[in-house]
Chain A
Amino acid sequence: MKTIENTVAVSVPLRTAYDQWTQFETFPRFMSGVKRVRQQTCSVSVWVVGAGPLRQEFTVEILEQAPDSHVVWRTLGRGDLPRGEVRFRALAEDSTEVGLLVELGGRNLAGALGAVPGVAERVLGRDLTRFKYFAEGLGEATAGWRGTIRGGHVQPGMPEEAKSPTPTWPMG
């Protein structure tokens, strides 16, 4: 597995940066290799990544997540598959450091990207910069999920989130 790290300073408050990052379905707006994201549950999303005519789908599980702190994720499946984490740190009231660590490898599109010297670093660096401009351009995050995930288990963050809007009576 190849490990790539990068950081960027984003001129928005910590909470804004974090909340914007947790809007996974918006990632195709600033990440060039991400074509589509479908959020299944709080902890599971399906990502379609691509380069040129090539496409590959990954189901991603968030293993650890804490508001305004970090998101640790992995791709579900066998063998070497992409995994990584993103960490958030307040630099000032209106400035946040976003640190991204990604491990690439295996026989998949992301692994192939990682195998070419310098390419994955350039792509991730560029996309992180795009996130910076995206978050700064918006200046605010319209929604954010403030729950916590530990060991893949979701722990709702706010009291009102504990009321799941779904029928709970017995289903025969």
Chain B
Amino acid sequence: MKKPPREEPKEDLTVTPPKTWAAGVPAVVHALEYSLEQTSPRETAVDLLTMNQVGGIDCPGCAWADPAPGHRHRNEYCENGAKHINDEATTRRITREFFREHPVSELARRSDLWLNQQGRLTEPMVKRPGSDHYEPISWRDALQLLAGELKALASPDEAAFYTSGRVSNEAAFVLQLFARAFGTNNLPDCSNMCHESSGFALHETLGTGKGTVSLEDLHHADLIFLVGQNPGTNHPRQLSALEEAKLNGARIVAVNTLPEAGLRRFKNPQKPRGIVGQGVQIADRFLHIRPGGDLALFQGLNRLLLEAEDARPGEVLAREFIESDTSGFEEFAEHARQVGWDDLLAATGLTRAEIEAVRDDVLRSERVIVCWAMGVTQHKHAVPTIREIVNFLLLRGNLGRAGAGACPVRGHSNVQGDRTVGIWEQMPDHFLDALRDEFGFEPPRPHGLDSVNTVKAMHEGRVKVFLGVAGNFVRAAPDSDFTEAAMRRCHLTAHVSTKLNRSHTVCGGTALILPTLGRTEKDLQAGGEQFVTVENSMSEVHTSHGKLKPASPLLLSEVAILSRLARHTLGTTPDLPWEEFEADYGAIRDRISRVVPGLHDFNRRVTRPGGIRLPNPVNEGVYPTATGKAMFTRNSWEMPQVPEGHLLLQTLRSHDQWNTIPYTLNDRYRGIHGSRQVVLVNPADLTALGLAEGDRVDLVSVWDGGVERRAEGFQVVPYPASRGSAAAYYPETQVLVPLDSVADISNQPTSKGILVRLEPTG
């Protein structure tokens, strides 16, 4: 165990060639190294050996599904999961003395890395108006202060309640119940910023907002697309599923602007071939696509499939399925045939031969799955892109049957579950009706604010109180300077958190830190030891039991904090059983079972090994869409104009990072060490820009509106990024993402497609 750093870590940038494989022995070494820096060998052993096991701790690191009970490894976690869980289980503590020593203004100058490394928060703290210090406050006073501010608002819509995906189903349900009983649907969440585009596209075309595949489907697919995702870093356990698929004979097509190590080869450290052998090749084909070119790629593939059907009628398309289960095929086909190859090739940066080779892969494959992540969802035309992916899957009947389907790969561990239990600013009337019938009050019906609109409302003074439950909203939201100004304009900001982050330091006039239990910790309430439930990317709802002693006796669980806040704010109007909820989370699950479809008999079923698999209507041949069938759609795109001397920037995470929190300054798969202030650019683009390796530049975002957005002090690194693109780390470059630069329909920030220029600084 190492002490927290007193000074900012400072290292010189060194660059080594990017790795060509992921995981292996180095993954084990790095995971243990970081774990033992943070906590004791005993606690490391307890949390790692129970992680993702039946009756154990669900890894908060990502939302990838666990293998079925009986099929899990003794060590069922990845390097980044181990780092993440021990980052939470750290023995470092932040006390009241720390806050006495460090004024808020000083903390606001600290890096994300430094703040996180200080350790766990241990007691409630308040920063009062005009003060530059957080000071201790009792739970009662803290929650009364927050409740008082809420009650003093002119309208409930002057408050916003943000949820991050770590929050359990139980806490999320209590939060949305409280917000709606208080009178607002202002429930922005991290989904607004990561997979909102997937939700809108899938809901429209298939009638479900969720992915349609299971792990077994992946294992038995013939062809898997990995589009705009980096499994080696962001969901490494997906690599095990891909390995199994490969061993079963699957082919994999990776579509990315960067040749990420995890797309190339995987050395499974749980198997001898991953330790001493070459591992398994992941991608059989790598399409080095331009940023945002995915819609054009799938449109090209769809056109080629239609033409293949013309050449061999009845042999290529799933005609019977299209007839019986879909709508809009003729209009789609007419549109797809008109797409010009010159446009397609310009948009993708690929050759026609490359796309035709993928078509041949498709024609040889009976079962196809398309996986995607934020490389797809964070573009202006993300929703049409995902609709086009659905078109692609529908053409050959690759939806609603074994080994085939749509797989949006989500990041946060319970981001999907939070939505399931009602965290959404636009929940449909039938959910609100069920809430009304169960609890006897009339929930507000007007849609609330999503994340982007919450920032705007705070900036304009329309939202005055912000409560963040988990997460780091200030850093996760786009347009950092604007978002920070918005937060500072609030009367009060409060955060339910395990660790210190920038959202505590860039705050409203009054600020509260409400420290909470982590996923790893035992949760003892009046009704005994509690567990929580979460839902993974594949719609499996299961339990998570904390195992470790809490970081402080003064920590309250998220459910306890929210239930107490609700009591202080609402009193008995409406009269809801907040105390019962806090004492026994089973009482919350009982209510969920009567409000959320599919979670009936929740308490009994969720404690079965493996939990509950929520059915996907698509796999039952049901499409709750406007037409009652799976919908083909016509999609158009407009590629961003990139003037000479400019690049399209994507923000991304390093391998040593979880969401907004970097663990070190290294990104070993990409060969970046000692600095995060780098911009990765194709060598040919660097030459064209007159730049060379190591040059220092500012990144300047190009956007209408007269506001200059600048990220200062970056070093140029030649990197095999696709031509015309650049990549730099998130959240440092969130400052460059204009708040109004959002995906059509979903309002999701377009963090993978920002027009920038690089200004040399000498």
- A binding-site residues for B, Cβ under 8 Å: 38, 40-44, 46, 59, 61, 76-78, 147, 150-156, 161-172
Contact = CB atoms under 8 A, between A and B. Distances in A.
Contacts of B321: 151, 153
With most chain B CB atoms within 10 A of its CB, the pick from A38, A59, A162, A169 is A169
Contact of B401 (A77, A151, A167, A169): A151
A161 B400 contact: no
A40 B216 contact: yes
A168 B624 contact: yes
A171 B320 contact: no
Given A40-B216, A43-B402, A155-B324, A169 B621 contact: no
B336 interface: no
Nearest to A41: B619
15 contacts: A41-B619, A42-B619, A42-B621, A43-B619, A44-B214, A61-B401, A61-B403, A150-B320, A165-B597, A167-B431, A170-B199, A171-B191, A171-B195, A172-B195, A172-B748
Contacts of B620: 41-42, 147, 154, 156, 161, 164
Contacts of B191: 171-172
Closest 8 CB pairs of A and B: A172-B191, A170-B199, A152-B401, A171-B209, A164-B617, A154-B621, A166-B598, A170-B209
B543 interface: no
B545 interface: no
Q: How large is the interface on B (under 10, 10 to 19, 20 to 34, 35 or more residues)?
A: 35 or more
Contacts of B220: 59, 76-77
B146 interface: no
A168 B621 contact: no
A170 B196 contact: yes
A59 B420 contact: no
Nearest to B748: A172
Given A147-B621, A151-B318, A164-B615, 14 more contacts: A44-B402, A61-B401, A77-B220, A156-B620, A165-B600, A166-B597, A166-B614, A166-B616, A167-B598, A168-B624, A171-B210, A172-B190, A172-B191, A172-B194
Interface in B597-613: 597-598, 600, 613
A78 B210 CA distance: 29
Contacts of B190: 172
Interface in B190-244: 190-192, 194-196, 198-200, 202-203, 207-210, 214, 216-217, 219-220
For the residues of A in contact with B, the DSSP-based class is loop
Contact of B198 (A44, A156, A161, A172): A172
Contact of B424 (A150, A154, A168, A169): A169
Contacts of B622: 156, 161-164
A167 B596 contact: yes
Contacts of B200: 170
A169 B203 contact: yes
With most chain B CB atoms within 10 A of its CB, the pick from A42, A78, A156, A167 is A167
A150 B319 CA distance: 12
Contact of A166 (B68, B219, B615): B615
A167 B597 contact: yes
A153 B403 CA distance: 12
Contacts, number: 144
A172 B198 CA distance: 7
Contacts of A165: 597-598, 600, 615
A172 B196 contact: yes
Contacts of B199: 169-172
A40 B218 CA distance: 14
A167 B624 CA distance: 11
Contact of B325 (A38, A153, A171): A153
Interface in B296-343: 318, 320-321, 324-325
B133 interface: no
B615 A171 contact: no
Contacts of B552: none
Nearest to B535: A171
Nearest to B247: A78
Contacts of A43: 401-402, 619
Interface string B713-731: 0000000000000000000
Contacts of A150: 320, 324
A150 B401 CA distance: 10
A169 B596 CA distance: 11
Contacts of A78: 248-249
A144 B71 CA distance: 29
A42 B622 CA distance: 12
Contact of B209 (A38, A42, A76, A167): A167
B524 to A, nearest CB: 31
A143 to B, nearest CB: 16
Contacts of B324: 150, 155
Nearest to A77: B248
B189 A172 contact: yes
B594 to A, nearest CB: 12
A68 to B, nearest CB: 19
With most chain A CB atoms within 10 A of its CB, the pick from B318, B402, B431, B598 is B402
Given A40-B216, A41-B615, A170-B200, A152 B402 contact: yes
A163 B112 CA distance: 47
Nearest to A76: B220
Interface in B53-80: 68
Contacts of A41: 214, 402, 615-616, 619-620
B397 interface: yes
A166 B210 CA distance: 10
B189 A168 contact: no
Given A46-B216, A151-B318, A156-B622, A168 B402 contact: no
A45 to B, nearest CB: 10
B314 to A, nearest CB: 13
Given A59-B220, A61-B403, A171 B198 contact: yes
B420 A76 contact: no
A170 B624 contact: no
Given A77-B248, A156-B620, A168 B203 contact: yes
Contacts of A172: 189-192, 194-196, 198-199, 209, 415, 419, 424, 748
B507 to A, nearest CB: 26
Nearest to B203: A170
B416 interface: yes
